[in-house]
Amino acid sequence: ETIFDGKSEIINRIVISENEQILELVKNDSIWNITGNDSFVVTISKIDNIFDKVLNVRKEMLITSKEEKWSKFGVDDSLGKHFTIFDQSNNELGHYIFGNSGQDYQHNYIRKNQTSDVYRTDNNIYYLLNSSDSYWGSVPKKKNEVEPR
């Protein structure tokens, strides 16, 4: 079972937060932008990774349902990376907390917000949930008006 079973076309806003750092990606028409950073152009392959890998990651097995074990797997509210998706009307479509604790580098742990079940994922997608602007985009290169000869 993938973490998101809705239609990906309706996702209009993505929020990734870790500690105090919050990144917001918003789709205007078909173009994704980083909120608060007009100078960066979003790298399309990074957005594709969200839709192809993060939203399609599967819950492989239930690890625990005990809240006191959340920190062990990095999925409590303060340790985990929060990944929240919204539609155009700002309705929350999903809020997941990802953790990467332990020695298992091929999997992550995931908990849906407001639930206590922690699952191991079938793939490591933790590194794709980066809350830094520079991970998601860059300043476009300026074209020279006259080429040097």
The dihedral built from the CA positions of residue 27, 28, 33 and 35, taken in this order, carries a sign that is negative
How would you write the pLDDT of the chain (149 residues) with one tens digit per residue? 899 999 999 999 999 999 999 999 999 989 999 999 988 999 999 999 999 999 999 999 999 999 999 999 999 999 999 999 999 999 999 999 999 886 678 899 999 999 999 999 999 999 999 999 999 998 887 765 454 45
The pTM for the full model equals 0.90
Per-residue DSSP letter, 49 = H
- 33-67 per-residue burial string, b: 16 or more CB within 10 A, e: under 16: bbeebeebbbeeeebebbeeebbebebeeebbeee
Alpha carbon of residue 66 to chain centroid: 24
Give the DSSP H or E segment for 27: strand 21-28
